[in-house]
Homo-oligomer: A and B are copies of this chain.
Amino acid sequence: MKIDIDRERLIGELDALGAISQAEPPVVTRVVFTEADLRGRAYVKQLCREAGLSVREDAVGNTFARWTGTNPNLEPVATGSHIDAIPNAGRFDGTVGVLGALEAIRALAASGYQPGRPVELVIFTSEEPTRFGIGCLGSRLLGGLLDPEAAGARLDRDGVSLDNARWAAGFEGPLASVRLPPGYYSAFVEMHIEQGPILERHNVPLGVVTAIAAPASLTIVIEGEGGHAGAVLMADRHDAFLAAAEIALAVEKSARSSGSNDTVGTVGVCDVFPGAVNSVPSRARIEIDVRDTDEARRDSVLQKIKLACEEVADRRAVKARVELVNADPPAHCDPRIVDTLVHACKTHGLPFERMISRAYHDSLFMSRIAPTAMLFIPCRGGVSHRPDEYASQEAIAQGTLVLAETLAQLSC
């Protein structure tokens, strides 16, 4: 079987999707259920239909584009990723795994290959946590890892619930209907940019992921006492932002002193209320992301952050409310699919490296209901979540070729 990847078509589609943004290109901002997200979805669905795939959507907007197999009653092989993007992001995060998978399917079809099992491309809703504070909304719901009622009630910063946002976007029905039973798919394989520097440093074109690090996130709301910045004496203050600043520095210190370079801790969001230069902040809200390849070490960092938060709150006489948004275990990839990926790399003479994913992905949650693995391609400087995120045309084409070979092996 000769698989021909149409590199130009694929790059053109990645560029076209990248131009669908809430911000001025090349900046990609495509937050879930915004107009840009909906336009991006419409574009990808149209491409899927043109490729002859049948498209369905579930209540949270997860999109399934199916290539029917000769044995449509067998459990499908699934592939896919996400197209939503955080503010000020780039063109490749997620989209490479969606449009690359579509190109893989088209290339297999063009080669004359007929799958036995159906092959299903899944575009997951809100892999990014930007809007509703928790990542992988779609895959968590698919995997039954999120209470549907609580999920629907989650609010964005403007007080709009997930339910209201999805309804406005045209996705109706109960969120409970999103869940798929374990065994629904025979396999899931996701292609993604590495979002780290290792493949580039080692000059290796492909990474076969064997495990995904354990992510966790916290939201901390600090309630202090506001007042006039000119009139409230320093000794009388209970400044919520200063407490948040100390906690942020404690996050950094806890992550740096974990004993491993694999531990990372980030405060990516800090909202200050009322947010006027001449007003002592009465409230601050920070969002914290902690990850590690080792779950126990990650949990001990979370514990250190909570203790620091209590100490700061006591000393400054402010109230701090800590919400553990998520603390997911790591995922171990399925050895059979890992072997299939390895075999596909070898078949096409492409060097590869076995590696761990330090970023989380929808695969983390798909692994709960299906044997799962991931394929990484290098990205320049390890940069992601920035407008200068970049993966070479060659890397994308090579990854797509190996993905196509793998899908063929898994669905034959």
Most chain-B CB neighbours within 10 Å: which of A213, A274, A275, A289? A274
A255 to B233, CA, bound (A): 10
Instruction: Please determine whether A86 and B276 come into contact, CB atoms closer than 8 angstroms.
Output: yes
> How many identical chains are in the complex?
2
Q: Flag whether A129 is at the interface (Cβ < 8 A).
A: yes
Q: Flag whether A278 is at the interface (Cβ < 8 A).
A: yes
A256 to B382, CA, bound (A): 43
| A residues 226-257 touching B (CB-CB < 8 Å) | 226-235, 239, 241-242, 244-246, 248-249, 252, 255-256
The distance from the CB of A338 to the nearest CB of chain B, in whole angstroms, is 21
Q: Chain A: interface residue count, which band? A: 35 or more
The distance from the CB of A17 to the nearest CB of chain B, in whole angstroms, is 19
Which residues on B sit within 8 Å (CB–CB) of A226? 88, 385-386
Known: A242-B252, A245-B245, A276-B129. A358 touches B230 (CB 8 A): yes
Known: A234-B265, A289-B229, A360-B230. A277 touches B386 (CB 8 A): no
Which residues on B sit within 8 Å (CB–CB) of A195? 228, 230-231
- Which of A72-80, A110-118, A280-288 is the contact stretch? A280-288
A27 to B151, CA, bound (A): 31
Q: Flag whether A133 is at the interface (Cβ < 8 A).
A: yes
Q: Flag whether A383 is at the interface (Cβ < 8 A).
A: yes
Q: When the two chains form the complex, which single residue of B266, B273, B280 contacts A266, counting CB atoms closer than 8 Å?
A: B280
Contact with B along A285-298 (1 / 0, CB 8 A): 00111010000000
Q: Flag whether A125 is at the interface (Cβ < 8 A).
A: no
Contact with B along A262-273 (1 / 0, CB 8 A): 011111111011
Instruction: Please determine whether A272 and B275 come into contact, CB atoms closer than 8 angstroms.
Output: no
Contact with B along A338-369 (1 / 0, CB 8 A): 00000000000000000000111000000000
The distance from the CB of A14 to the nearest CB of chain B, in whole angstroms, is 19
Known: A248-B241, A287-B277. A230 touches B264 (CB 8 A): yes
| A residues 153-190 touching B (CB-CB < 8 Å) | none
Q: Flag whether A217 is at the interface (Cβ < 8 A).
A: yes
Known: A86-B276, A276-B87, A278-B266. A256 touches B230 (CB 8 A): no
Q: When the two chains form the complex, which single residue of B246, B248, B282, B386 contacts A386, counting CB atoms closer than 8 Å?
A: B282
Instruction: Please determine whether B268 and A281 come into contact, CB atoms closer than 8 angstroms.
Output: yes
Query: Can you list 13 A-B pairs with a CB-CB distance of less than 8 A?
Result: A133-B277, A194-B231, A197-B231, A213-B230, A217-B277, A228-B384, A241-B248, A241-B268, A245-B245, A267-B281, A268-B276, A268-B277, A277-B288
Given contacts A245-B248, A274-B385, A278-B385, 17 further A-B contacts (CB under 8 A): A88-B226, A88-B274, A129-B276, A130-B277, A195-B228, A197-B231, A217-B277, A226-B385, A227-B386, A230-B289, A234-B263, A234-B264, A235-B256, A241-B267, A242-B267, A246-B249, A268-B276
Nearest first, the 6 closest Cβ-Cβ pairs linking A and B are: A245-B245, A230-B359, A229-B266, A88-B274, A277-B287, A196-B231
